[in-house]
Structure 1
Amino acid sequence: MDEQKQIPVPSGISEEQARLAKLYVMERHQSGISVGDFCSKHGISTATWYGESYMKNPVFESYLTALGGTVVSADEQEAYQIVKQKIMQMATKQSAGVKEIQLFLENFSHVVEADKQERMKELGIVPEHEKGQFKTVEERKASLLARLKG
């Protein structure tokens, strides 16, 4: 993962959870590994993966989503922006070509998630994995003002 896009491990996430999250994002992006194959390869049951410690844990799920955004390349972002524009243009037409758009969105869901995270941050919505990083109201205020200026 790109060092400029490192996501700090949030409190409440163990070292093992952080390690598996990073591995999952990397392997999912590189080879499209399924959850079942990933769990089998790393000695974790799918029940555990989908349970309270992992995917049902909002902090872990948010952290996993944020990590997914770190592997999105500039080319993928650019392609997503082009398709997003096409979707908006096609939304008013009856012959929308939905199958082609669905195929893209299914294959580039990590790009869609990264875009959603960016829009949420622009709106001041803090992802679960980042909650608790600010201790005072003044720190939160400074962070929001920095985002508005940036």
Structure 2
Amino acid sequence: MKNHELDSVDHTILNILQQNAKLPLKEIAENVYLSVPAVSARIEKMEKEGYITGYQAQVNPIALGYHIKALINLEVPPEEKSVFYTYIKECLNVVECNCVTGEYSMVLEVLFPSTVELDKFIGELQRFGRTKTLIVFSTSVEHRGIPANPNEIVRE
């Protein structure tokens, strides 16, 4: 995946892009004291090497009518995983699916307009195995970027 080590300028660029991927290249360049073409080349290289995997808008689920967020633990037998993965990739209400260690093999984060739709989805999931569902009341830390340099993690 990666062909070169990132330097401190690359880390700064990644941190800036994670906060605001729409920031004009000119402003990024001013922050890292490079020319716009130099910043553009660095970003392109990081995209090519897989450090940057995409850009997307963060939307407000509640404003769009998704009032229920839940975490679903699911026990999927190993021999069913490939069928499950094919199924789950088509489920648009699933915003994240992780294969994990522990009592359950999968943890899903889902968004639904109501508990009725959530209940129906859980019923469909149970064909793969046992479930345990946690409905989220509030979120103190939403999906966010990560420090580009793990050695420079700062706690505020």
Q: TM-score range by the shorter chain?
A: 0.3 to 0.5
TM-score, length-normalised on structure 1?
Answer: 0.33
Higher share in helix: 1
Q: Which structure has the bigger radius of gyration? A: 2
